């Protein structure tokens, strides 16, 4: 069977045999002669005809001489402008087939008509995902080198394959791409950036799934090399594999089944979602970040929010629905004083919450956020140094038990405030844990914390505990409590020496 013979050459610019130049040049010469005949009949010079069609005179000459393959739309345009009566259009299908090497023509037809396509790539981006610039760079690396006309023809053919996305219904497609492919700057950094954006856009299509095989993955079922699985409308599965310049088609069920198992393993192993991986990459540009901001994937938006180079307007857009949580984002940490002021004055409380995670806010912004009527915005700034005890108490009185733990983490919380928090009704266990590790905790509040099961191991290690209490904790039933007490610097030296001798 020869349907997919030579896919390696078409996909990565390698060939396993000589191209059938006779068949190609025959149809191209016929088209070229007819094109020239109708142009001359119309009384047009090449530059005149080119100006009406958007092509240069040299390109028209290349078409007429059969050196380049005109795209289908230009054939339609020429047929109409030159009043060819459909003569040129009748050759369009054969000309389209001629753009591929002879051994790939049946493969292109199968790919165009497939209902499912699944591919693993570890050398270059799959052709169905390539940009024009990336494809041109790939073909430009061939040795022996191709001339400009051949490169242009190969690039046009590759892009023509992507018309499969416009089919109705669209085929189901999935790709597993090795991470090294996405890091290799074929054609340069700008070309790679455009290629990554193209992958992202393709991955947003409901019928396309893209996964990445991480570089640090300890297992890889695809070590034998790239391959493609094509399912026809008749339900037939065809497998295509390639190694170096040799490609092979497996129509038999046994090898196809084996590669199906390999692909299933590959699809199960990678970290899902190339979009999330790219969203956190500080090398992507602002335009791409704006595109990712509207991505349907939560992980994509969350990773984008954590990108240190994310534009501020994008971060503001993400604040409400990215589930960022109580964390200081790199972009917020790097915000200028003017940006901090702008964020703190945002009408969106989710944005005010983001800037409230900083611990170096100007006093006027810090205090304004502490008095914020929105609980999340106010809660974010509760641990900020410099807040007065009166303001911290007011935050607890205004917002209740959900603020106890945050206020307890404030480094300036006084012993009186910590005691006030332990008496709050209803209590909050998390607050006891924060109080138990606070530097200003007194003996009185630590004894209260020892009564809480979860705070007890933390309080047992606090140096403010009286030595007799620490000694008593060495016999506690909870091993964590014993270990914390044994490490407590308040433990008397004699007791510590005796403990060491007994161990």
- Domain 20-98: CATH superfamily is lambda repressor-like DNA-binding domains (1.10.260.40)
Question: CB 252: neighbour CB atoms within 10 A?
Answer: 11
- SS3 at position 250: strand
Q: Which residue blocks in 54-207 are alpha helix, DSSP H?
A: 57-64, 72-81, 87-90, 92-98, 105-113, 132-140, 148-161, 179-183, 189-203
- SS3 at position 177: strand
Query: Which has the closest alpha carbon to 435: 457, 459, 451, 416?
Result: 459
Tell me the helix, strand and coil percentages in the chain, rounded to 5: 55, 10, 35
Distance CA 292, CA 302 (A): 10
**In tens digits, what is the pLDDT along the chain, a chain of 503 residues?**
444 444 434 443 433 333 444 445 678 888 889 999 999 999 999 999 988 888 899 888 988 888 887 888 889 999 999 999 998 888 887 777 776 655 556 566 777 788 899 999 999 999 999 999 999 999 999 888 888 888 888 898 888 889 888 888 889 999 999 989 999 999 999 999 999 989 988 988 888 988 888 887 777 888 888 888 888 888 888 877 766 655 666 667 888 888 888 878 777 656 655 677 778 888 777 878 888 888 777 888 888 999 999 999 999 999 877 677 778 999 999 999 999 999 999 999 999 999 999 999 999 999 999 999 999 999 999 999 999 999 999 999 999 999 999 999 999 999 999 999 999 999 999 999 999 999 999 999 999 999 999 999 999 999 999 999 999 999 999 999 999 999 999 988 876 666 655 65
The encoded tokens of residue 450 equal 């020892």
Contact 361, 341 (CB under 8 A): no
The CATH classification number of 102-272 equals 3.30.870
Contact 315, 329 (CB under 8 A): yes
Distance CA 318, CA 326 (A): 14
Could you tell me how far CA 498 lies from the centroid of its own chain? 58
User: Which residues lie below 8 Å from residue 166, measured CB to CB, with a gap of 6+?
Assistant: none
Whether this model's pTM surpasses 0.75: no
> What is the enclosing helix (H) or strand (E) of 172?
strand 172-178
Distance CA 109, CA 149 (A): 23
Q: What are phi and psi of 471, to 5 degrees?
A: -60, -40
Distance CA 495, CA 503 (A): 12
CA dihedral of residues 339, 345, 350, 354 (deg, nearest 10): 40
- SS3 at position 118: strand
Distance CA 380, CA 372 (A): 10
Burial tier of 83 (Cβ tally within 10 Å: 0-12, 13-18, 19+):
exposed
**How far is the first Cα of the chain from the last one, in angstroms, to the nearest whole number?**
77
| Domains in the chain: boundaries | 20-98, 102-272, 325-381
């Amino acid at each position: 069977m020869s349907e997919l013979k030579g896919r390696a050459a078409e996909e990565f610019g390698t060939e396993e045999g000589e191209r059938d130049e006779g068949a190609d040049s025959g149809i191209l010469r016929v088209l070229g002669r007819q094109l020239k005949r109708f142009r001359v009949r119309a009384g047009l010079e090449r530059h005149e005809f080119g100006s009406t069609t958007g092509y240069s005179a040299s390109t028209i000459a290349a078409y007429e001489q059969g050196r380049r393959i005109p795209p289908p739309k230009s054939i339609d345009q020429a047929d109409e402008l030159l009043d060819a009566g459909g003569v040129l259009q009748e050759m369009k299908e054969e000309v389209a087939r001629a753009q591929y090497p002879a051994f790939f023509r049946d493969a292109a037809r199968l790919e165009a008509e497939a209902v499912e396509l699944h591919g693993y790539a570890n050398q270059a981006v799959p052709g169905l995902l390539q940009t024009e610039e990336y494809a041109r760079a790939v073909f430009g690396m061939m040795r022996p080198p191709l001339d400009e006309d051949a490169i242009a023809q190969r690039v046009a053919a590759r892009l023509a394959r992507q018309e499969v996305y416009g089919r109705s219904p669209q085929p189901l497609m999935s790709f597993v791409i090795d991470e090294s492919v996405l890091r290799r700057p074929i054609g340069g950094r700008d070309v790679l950036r455009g290629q990554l954006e193209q992958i992202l856009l393709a991955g947003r299509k409901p019928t396309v799934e893209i996964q990445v095989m991480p570089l640090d993955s300890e297992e890889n079922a695809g070590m034998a090399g790239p391959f493609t699985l094509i399912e026809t409308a008749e339900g037939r599965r065809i497998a295509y594999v390639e190694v170096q310049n040799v490609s092979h088609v497996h129509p038999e069920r046994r090898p196809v089944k084996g590669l199906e198992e390999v692909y299933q393993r590959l699809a199960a192993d990678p970290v899902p979602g190339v979009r999330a991986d790219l969203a956190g990459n500080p090398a992507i540009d602002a335009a791409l970040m704006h595109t990712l901001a509207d991505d349907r994937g939560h992980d994509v938006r969350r990773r984008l929010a954590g990108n240190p180079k994310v534009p501020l307007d994008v971060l503001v857009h993400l604040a409400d629905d990215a589930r960022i949580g109580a964390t200081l984002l790199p972009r917020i940490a790097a915000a200028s004083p003017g940006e901090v002021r702008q964020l703190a004055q945002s009408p969106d409380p989710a944005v005010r919450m983001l800037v409230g995670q900083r611990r170096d806010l100007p006093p006027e912004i810090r205090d304004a956020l502490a008095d914020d009527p929105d609980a999340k915005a106010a809660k974010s700034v509760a641990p900020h140094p410099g807040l007065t005890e009166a303001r911290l108490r007011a935050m607890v009185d205004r917002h209740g038990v959900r603020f106890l733990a945050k206020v307890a983490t404030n480094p300036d919380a006084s012993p009186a405030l910590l005691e006030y928090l332990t008496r709050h009704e209803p209590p909050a266990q998390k607050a006891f844990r924060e109080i138990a590790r606070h530097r200003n905790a007194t003996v009185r509040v630590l004894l209260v914390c020892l009564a809480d099961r979860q705070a007890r191991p933390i309080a047992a290690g606090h140096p403010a505990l009286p030595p007799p209490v620490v000694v008593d904790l060495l016999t506690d039933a909870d091993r964590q409590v014993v270990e914390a007490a044994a490490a407590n610097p308040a433990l008397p030296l004699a007791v510590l020496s005796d403990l060491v001798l007994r161990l």
